[in-house]
Structure formats: structure tokens, C-alpha cells
Amino acid sequence: MSFRQPLLRRLAVLPVALLAMLASGCAGEFPQTTFRPVTEFGAAIDHVFRISFWWTMVILAIVAIVLTYVLIRFRARPGVEPRKIYGNNLAEILWTAGPAIIVVTILVPTVRTIFFTYREAPEDALVVEAVGHQWWWEFRYPELGIRTANQVHLPVGRPVEIHLSSADVIHNFWVPRIGGKRYNYPAVALPEGAPEPRNHNRIVFTIEEEGEYHGQCAEFCGVSHALMRMLVVAQPEDEFEAWAQSMREPTNTVPEPGTFEEKGYNAFIAGGCMACHTISGTMATFGMEGPDLTAVGARWKIGAGAAENTPEDLARWIQNSESFKPGSKMQAFPEITGEDLEALVAYLQSLK
């Protein structure tokens, strides 16, 4: 009896620890949870997860009960020799058939979900191209003639087909509440006139709930892989159309003459920023290397989630983006300082 008491006392801690774990699991927002899907794609995957989870729990319970029974019933007793058993047809049939049934029960919905999540997009789907870059996301809307970065707006209730590709290494598109993950492969260079490459991945879904959903590159793609985030803004169709219109024909990207923002705009042009960055409605329309900056002031963060969208962070980003994002391909501009820097920051932040 004496050796059992400390063990029992130790076991008494278990329910407390379990409660603490459950309580901490319920705290917080968890913007990247997969448990609250907002698309039929996410719901299908969540369904398979739940089936597998509850089957596993049933198996765990059965094994625990049988194990406890066996440990007590057949424990070592002085002077009792265990009976030896060789071969038991019933037991062998049961432990072969049981797992086979479980595997089939999980396999059927899994295969059905694989086909469901790879189905063709309906005719009216909105096509968006998501191009992975080290380390940011480029989004193009070929039908709407617009381009943006890191923050992608999508309509609620309309099917969306995202074409996934990469400008450099392999990335992975993952917005947990929407579904995924799915690879962005580098485009294969084809000879002139060759048919469209067929090796690009696609992901098709319909967002059913308005909101903002955080995403993250899910394939290790270099030193700043963890700083390759994105935000999906799901909005009603009319708001989405209004946003698209404001991106296509922005009215605020060329500042009024004589304003502080105009000084910033001039610094943008003089600084050579437009070699890499495009701002719709301005003369900076050919820079494709870096993120499109039309409406950059409205983004939830800058540098694909690496820095806050505040004047302080934006100024530091311009002077040395690597201080936020190691390996960043954006050149440092330590020469842009003082009022020029302040004006440039004010201009970029006015782009909303």
C-alpha cells in the first residue's frame, strides 16, 4: 500500500493539468485556425479531420478499457503461472477485420474530399493569379486588369479560382480558414507560341462569410519564409466591385500640386522606386519586381506582414528593409532621409 500512495497523489494532478490545457486552448483569437472554415473547401477538409479524430478517440477508449482490464485481471500473482496460448482464429480474424474496416471508413470520405477539392471551377468563377515571390505574394486579376500584393480582396458567395505559380522557388498558398495548403510551383519557361503551361496548381473555393482571413506561405522557401504572410479580405460583391474600380482607376495616387504628399510622390519618382513598384494612375506603371503599391496605405501590414503599416516602420523599411526581413531583395535607401523620407512615407500612407 505504501508505494501506491505517491503514485495516486501524482495522478491526482492529471485532471487539473487537463483542465488547464483545455482552458488555455480556448483562449485567444487564433486567426489561423483550421477549425472554423469559411468555405465549402475548408468545411470538406474539416469533416474528414473530425471523422478521423472521433474514430481515433473510439479506438483509444477501447484500447484503454481492454488494457486496464488485462493489467488488473492478469497481473502477476505469487505462485500463479500464466496459461500459454498458441493461435486463436477468432482473435486473428477480429484484429485483421477491425483495422481494415476502420481504414475503409476513413478512406472513403478522404478520397471523396480529394476529388471534391480538385473539381473544375464553375463558369462564373473569378480568376485570380497568386504568384509567390521571395518573400511576398503577388495577386493579379486578369479579368479586372488589376494587380495587388499581400492583401487580396475576394467577393463573398462567388466561386473563386486561384491559379498558383511562383516567380522563383516553390511556395505554398495557405489560408487556414479558407483551405489548402497547395503548392505554388515556378513557371516553366516555354518556347514562343507553346500552349499555356498545364502544370500550375489551382485552388477553387467559395467564401461564405464576410471577414479578414490570415494566410501564410507553408513551404520553406528561404530565410524569410516565416515572414511571407497574406491577408484575404472577403467582402460582399458590390463592395468588392467598388474596390476593384478604385484599384483600376484610383483618384488619389497623384497628389495635388504643392502638398506635402506631392513632395513624397516626387521623391518616389526621383528615388527610382518605380523601377520595381507600380502605382496605378501615376507614371510608375512598369515596375514588376516588387509589390504593387496602389492602396498600400490601406494594407494591414507592410512587407508581407513583416512590419506594421505605421510611419515609423515604413520609414525604417525604406531605409533598410532587411532590418525587418532578412534577405529582402528590396535595396536599402539610407540616402533618403529627413523631410524627403517623411514626405515619401506620408505619400505612401495616403494611398488608400
List residues near ligand CUA by CB under 6 A: 132, 135, 171, 217, 219-221, 225, 228
Write down the least CB distance from residue 187 to ligand CUA, Å: 15
Least separation, in Å, of the C-beta of 305 and ligand CUA?
A: 12
Nearer to ligand CUA, 128 or 217 (CB): 217
Whole-number minimum distance, CB 84 to ligand CUA, in Å? 57
CA distance 194 to 261: 46
Q: 201-206 and 159-166 as β-strands: parallel, antiparallel, unpaired?
A: antiparallel
Nearer to ligand CUA, 140 or 171 (CB): 171
> Closer to ligand CUA at the Cβ: 121 or 130?
130
The answer to whether the bond into 135 is cis (omega within 30° of 0) is: yes
Closest approach of Cβ 133 to ligand CUA, in Å? Answer: 8
For residues 225 and 263, which CB has a smaller minimum distance to ligand CUA in the complex? 225
Q: How far is the CB of 228 from ligand CUA (least distance, A)?
A: 4
Which triple of cell numbers denotes residue 259? 502638398
* Entry field: residues in the chain: 352
Give whole-number Cα distances, 101 to 51, 106, 113, 114, 287, in Å. Answer: 14, 9, 19, 20, 58
Contact 131, 166 (CB under 8 A): yes
Smallest gap from Cβ 247 to ligand CUA, in A, equals 24
Which CB, 207 or 217, lies closer to ligand CUA? 217
Nearer to ligand CUA, 164 or 247 (CB): 164
The CB-of-327 to ligand CUA minimum distance in angstroms stands at 12
> Read out DSSP for 215-276?
EE--S--STTGGG-EEEEEEE-HHHHHHHHHHHHS-SSSSPPTTSHHHHHHHHHHHTTGGGT
**CA atoms of 348 and 352, how far apart (whole Å):** 9
Half-sphere exposure of 186 (CA within 13 A, CB side): 10
The cell for 185 is: 510551383
Closer to ligand CUA by Cβ: residue 166 or 235: 166
